Amino acid sequence: MRKRPPVCTRERALKFATAVIALGAAIAVPATAQDFGERRTTVSGLPLTADQQAITPEHLWLDIWVDPEAQSIKGRAEYALEIADPASKIEMELDQRFRVTRVSLGKIELPAEGFRHTDGLLTVPLEGARSANGRIALRVDFEGEPRTAPNAPWDGGFVWSQTSDGEPWIATAMQGQGCDLLFPCIDYPTKEIGRVDSTIWVPAESRLYAAGNGKLLGIEDKGDWRGYKWSARQPNTYAIALNIAPYGVIERTHRAPSGQDVPLAFYHLRGDEAGAARMLDELAKYLDWFERRIGPYPFADEKAGIAQTPHLGMEHQTINAYGNGFRESDEPYDWLLFHEFAHEWFANQMTNRSNADMWLHEAAASYMEALYLRDVAGEDAYRAKLDEYLPRIVSKVPVAPGAGIDSGSYLDSSGWGGDIYFKGSWILHTLRELIGDEAFFRSLTRLVYGTAEPKPGAITPIYRDTDEFRQIVEEETGRDLEWFFDVYVRQPAMPLLKGTRDGATLTLEWEVPGNRTFQMPVEVKIGERTIVAEFENNRARVDLGSATAPFTVDPDAKMLRGLPEPVLTPPPPRRN
């Protein structure tokens, strides 16, 4: 996802008639095209209409001609769609800034009155055009000046920049606003396209190189244009990206622990070869670590790619955006490169079913940073990373709302856009401490691949939601963990641990909103020994051994809990 919200130091369908839509955790609400209007082009993940739900985008052949001087594009999108009954029309988002110049169904070009492009929604009536097997070809030609990103990657669109010697340096970052800023699409996480074959065209007389998603199939010169042809399997919709500059390319093949030979590539500005080579070395380390901890790199048949960008970063599938300037750090990793690469597993391979479950992307990617530091630099580095996250937690809204939300919530004042990183990381930390490493990592592997034993060559992207994650963890542990997810994920307030001391007896009590049951065990260190306090009806009693025994609650900070710290009744004064 786009990088962390700027409040942190590291950095943040729609029918013409009423339809019933499924939203997030199967909450049904009506939606019409007029419900959203201009919001459709500024946020992503708005509810699907019944017609959009019936459409499966199987293949897209996408041509984009980029004019750096005019800061405009022309595009041609040719879809192979599978359309189920009872769909009566094709509905796709396309930014209203674009002019639609041609629409064809099959081999028939439609007259101007045969389609509609209003408020960012392209509507094409089917009227019997669907073939007997439910498949149809759709072609859309469009052109215009795309949205310029006000503040990429948080407020996205096109970035029209220049290199130090004045050559064009162009990138897209569209997660919050969606794929419709670049091409017609169904802008919803579960509407990934089965295969995208894209050709990015740049002026032939330039030195520009267009890096794209997936595997490079070839480079073609045609008149005044040079086309870079790419093919990607089921890319995340917002992760389809343009990266255009006078790039040099460093490439190598890396033998991964899984036995896969993974093509690595860094598309860098000239003069930055040394930094790019160093980052490619880093990428190989990260890839090996993720394979050992989570499972095989999902896109080894394409590449693990990085493009140097004029904005900070984004997890564009197989072509991650990197704008961290090759900065040296006291930490033994490049946080931006690592975080975006983590999303190849947690976002691109495993994709949230709706924005309401986006914490599965961001919490996991952020927590992987802490776990990586634990493995390469030790427990203190791990704790330092978690300590860095803790004061950034806001806890005004749930990290996983029960109903679907759109991406506009990311930058609003609720703090959700930060909590899905930082609070989510602490939730995963707490879960790992509760269930142990073996069950925790097996759960993550099953979450990402749908199996605990993924095999290279037999990996396909998967959609997930929070309830599925809970079910996996419960199966791995044999425990009912509804109380854990109910308190930490489904409501905003953090549990408070209160304590009182009466002589040698310490009474601990969990206070949670709505008097929910909360069974989190708590370690108590008494002198040199540590015991685990088990709770019944949210209360536990601990025998301290004596009225003066020193003790510490949760001495190793194994769980997320609210502040202030427990206020404990002081022991009675000593008698001489």
User: How far apart are the C-alpha atoms of 39 and 120, rounded to whole Å?
Assistant: 9
Query: What pLDDT is attached to residue 35?
Result: 59
CA dihedral 553, 555, 558, 562 (to 10 degrees): 50
What tens digit of pLDDT does each residue of 438-478 get? 999 999 999 999 999 999 999 999 999 999 999 999 999 99
The position carrying tokens 């942190």 is: 8
pLDDT for res 130: 61
Residues 534-550: pLDDT tens digits? Answer: 999 999 999 999 999 99
Q: What pLDDT does 413 receive?
A: 77
3-state secondary structure of 439: helix
CATH of 493-576 given 3.10.20.600, 2.60.40.10, 2.60.40.1910, 3.90.1150.10: 2.60.40.1910
**Torsions phi, psi for 209 (to 5 deg):** -120, 135
Query: Is 316 annotated among the ligand-binding residues?
Result: no
- What integer pLDDT is reported at residue 37 of this predicted model? 63
User: Looking at residues 123-144, what average pLDDT do you find?
Assistant: 86
Specify the pLDDT at position 131.
61
| Closest to 95 in 3D by CA, of 156, 146, 153 | 146
Dump pLDDT digits (tens) for 347-382. 999 999 999 999 999 999 999 999 999 999 999 999
Question: Mean pLDDT throughout 74-83?
Answer: 97
- Is pLDDT larger for residue 18 or for residue 422? 422
User: For 387-394, what is the mean pLDDT?
Assistant: 96
Mean pLDDT of 240-258: 98
Residue 288 has pLDDT above 60, yes or no: yes
Tokens of 503: 């002589």
Q: What is the pLDDT of residue 3?
A: 46
Residue 429 has pLDDT above 60, yes or no: yes
pLDDT at 228 (0 to 100) = 98
Tell me the torsion sign for CA atoms 233, 237, 238, 242: positive
pLDDT at position 494:
95
Q: Is residue 549 classed as helix, strand or coil in its secondary structure?
A: coil
Q: What is the pLDDT of residue 19?
A: 25
Q: Is the pLDDT of residue 2 over 70?
A: no
Q: What is the dihedral of CA 444, 450, 453, 458, to 10 degrees?
A: -130
Phi and psi of 389, rounded to 5°? -75, -35
Flag whether pLDDT at 329 surpasses 90.
Answer: no
Q: What percent of the chain has pLDDT over 90?
A: 84
Q: What integer pLDDT is reported at residue 412 of this predicted model?
A: 76
Give domain limits for the chain: 352-488, 493-576
- Asked if residue 184 lies in contact with residue 120, where contact means CB atoms within 8 angstroms, the answer is no
Instruction: Return the closest-CA partner of residue 350 out of 234, 237, 235, 463.
Output: 463
Long-range contacts of 534-539 (CB under 8 A, 24+ apart): 535/508, 535/510, 538/509, 538/510, 538/511, 538/512, 539/507, 539/508, 539/509, 539/510
Q: What is the mean pLDDT of residues 526-534?
A: 96
pLDDT in tens, 473-506: 999 999 999 999 999 999 999 999 999 999 999 9
Q: Which residues contact 314 (CB under 8 A, 6 or more apart)?
A: 1, 2, 3, 153, 173, 175, 239, 241, 320, 321, 340
Mean pLDDT value across the chain: 90
Angstrom distance (rounded) from CA 369 to CA 365: 7
End-to-end Cα, the chain, rounded Å = 63
Proportion of the chain above pLDDT 70, given as a percent = 90
- Highest CATH level, class, for 352-488: mainly alpha
pLDDT of residue 18: 23
CA 210 to chain centre: 24
Does residue 58 or residue 13 have the better pLDDT?
Answer: 58
Mean pLDDT to the nearest integer, 320-346:
95
Q: How confident is the model at residue 132 (pLDDT cuts 50, 70, 90)?
A: low
- Which residues share a beta bridge with 523? 532
Q: Which residues, in sequence order, are CB contacts of 575 under 8 Å at separation 6+?
A: none
pLDDT confidence of 94, banded at 50, 70, 90? very high
Contacts of 560 (CB under 8 A, 6+ apart): 423, 426, 427, 429, 430, 488, 494, 495
Percent helix, strand and coil across the chain, each rounded to 5? 25, 30, 45
> What's residue 20's pLDDT?
22
pLDDT confidence of 34, banded at 50, 70, 90? very low
Query: What average pLDDT does the segment 322-334 reach?
Result: 93
Given this model, what pLDDT does residue 563 score?
Answer: 65
Q: What is the pLDDT of residue 129?
A: 65
CA distances from residue 574 to 133, 527, 547, 570, 571 in whole angstroms, order as listed: 87, 18, 9, 11, 9
**CA separation for the pair 337, 325 (Å, rounded):** 11
* 181 pLDDT higher than 50: yes
Q: What is the pLDDT of residue 202?
A: 98
In the beta sheet, which residues pair with residue 551?
Answer: 526
Q: How far apart are CA 116 and CA 103, in angstroms?
A: 10
Alpha carbon 523 to chain centroid distance? 34
Mean pLDDT, residues 286-308: 98
Answer yes or no: is 362 a known binding residue: yes
